[in-house]
Copies of this chain bind each other. A is one copy, B any other.
Amino acid sequence: MPADTPADLYGPDNLPYGVFTTADAPERRRIGVRLGDTVLDLGAAAAALGSPHAELLSAPTLNPLLAAGRAVWTAVRTELRTWLREGRAELTAVPLADVTLHLPFEVADYVDFYASEHHATNVGKMFRPDSEPLTPNWKHLPIGYHGRAGTVVVSGTPVVRPQGQRRTPDGPVFGPSQRLDIEAEVGFVVGAPSRLGEPVPQSAFRDHVFGVCLVNDWSARDVQAWEYVPLGPFLGKSFATSVSAWITPLEALDAARVAPPERTHPLLDYLKDDADDPAGFDVRITVTLNGQVISEPPFSAMYWTAAQQLAHMTVNGASLRTGDLFASGTVSGPEKHQRGCLLELTWSGENPLELPDGTRSFLEDGDEVVLTAWAPGPDGGRVGLGEVAGRVVKS
């Protein structure tokens, strides 16, 4: 199959939002929309064309747009598509190669789930070989934990290899992680907040969630394995989490909606699937390491949907804030070439990957990982997500 061009993946049915600067005004962050290999200056167009949303589109982050809620999200997208159709000259396009992209929103809370049955099963076999791979709760609730919002970084940010404690037969030692890994994930960005004490049901998913990004949840497996009992991952994850510079609005993924996998256990009411409103997304991820494709994880294989995660995350009354980010957990499919992290791909280093520049069990300094993805769009087209790129730097 021929590679998709930027024009195919970032056409008028996609229109993801980001924040950019140009060399002549490096301090002036602006909201842009990707079209092909250009960036449309949305704030400037909105002002020139007298849009009622000009003020929130002239902000230096997406947060005011996120906070404005679903009706405004739809109105802005409709406006923009109209301007494109009419070929408005006010919609200036800057070549993508000429801009610097920034973290597009201020992250409020960051939650990471664990929603792939294939991933959780594989990790369980490796980390807890004497137990059932899936813990007894796994099929009853979408397991998740809070991560560090302050170290969410935009695609392209170098990732310094973390130092930390790892276990040896002679006790813990300190040094650079020797098992630095990736996790290919899909992230969901909350726009409209909710009130403390008021759960958000699955049916309100589209009222609260603005859009989707790709996430690389870098993980130091040796640090994680030593620290994570009993309170979960901490320093093994908190050094960096990379997100794509582009947030694809949910509306662009309407054609990608699919039913989640068949349920093997009955679900409590607040987690029940709505057969008339399929909550899975057919997003197909590609992971490259130094330019070589090492995995193609299918997001459609995820057991728990983002709507279920949202409902679960708030069922205890926890409130949502504009800028909350929740990620799916590693996306792994049933096949070996669909596993979304090196831990699984190399089976904890037992079966290293063969790459043109040598074998890899875990990441080496200088390695670059890039995640890209696409989803079915309307009329047989494709909607591109991504990319999330990051290079490992020696610590």
Contacts and interface: CB of A to CB of B under 8 A. Distances in A.
Interface of A: 108-109, 114, 124, 127-128, 135, 137, 140-141, 143-151, 153, 160, 162-165, 171-174, 196-197, 199, 220, 223, 226-236, 238-240, 268-270, 312-313, 315-321, 324, 393, 395
A150 B231 contact: no
- List the number of copies, as a whole number: 2
Contact of A135 (B162, B229, B319, B395): B229
Contacts of A316: 162-164, 220, 223, 235-236, 238-239
Contact of A320 (B140, B150, B223): B150
Given A150-B324, A235-B318, 13 more contacts: A109-B150, A137-B172, A137-B226, A140-B165, A141-B226, A146-B234, A150-B320, A151-B196, A153-B196, A160-B197, A197-B393, A228-B230, A236-B316
14 contacts: A109-B149, A128-B230, A137-B226, A140-B165, A144-B234, A145-B145, A146-B146, A160-B197, A172-B268, A173-B268, A197-B393, A232-B233, A235-B316, A240-B317
A270 B231 contact: no
B227 A318 contact: no
B231 A233 contact: yes
Contacts of A196: 151, 153, 160, 240
A253 to B, nearest CB: 26
A143 B224 CA distance: 12
A171 B230 CA distance: 23
B240 A149 contact: no
A147 to B, nearest CB: 6
Contact of A235 (B232, B235, B312): B312
Contact of A137 (B227, B238, B239): B227
A103 to B, nearest CB: 12
Contact of A149 (B149, B233, B312): B149
Contacts of A232: 145, 228, 230-233
A153 B127 CA distance: 37
Given A227-B141, A230-B228, A231-B143, A150 B395 contact: no
A150 B111 CA distance: 12
Contacts of A160: 196-197, 317
A127 B172 contact: no
A229 B238 CA distance: 19
Complex A-B, nearest 3 residue pairs according to Cβ-Cβ distance, in ascending order: A232-B232, A162-B316, A160-B197
Contact of A317 (B147, B163, B231, B321): B163
Nearest to A226: B137
B151 A239 contact: no
Nearest to A114: B231
A301 to B, nearest CB: 20
A185 B143 CA distance: 26
Nearest to A149: B109
Given A144-B234, A145-B146, A318-B148, A174 B227 contact: no
A319 B145 contact: no
Contacts of A233: 145, 231-232
Nearest to A174: B268
Given A313-B235, A317-B395, A146 B147 contact: yes
A83 to B, nearest CB: 35
A238 B226 CA distance: 25
Contacts of A317: 160, 162-163, 239-240, 395
A228 B160 CA distance: 30
A118 to B, nearest CB: 16
Nearest to A321: B150
Contacts of A162: 316-317
Contacts of A148: 109, 146, 318
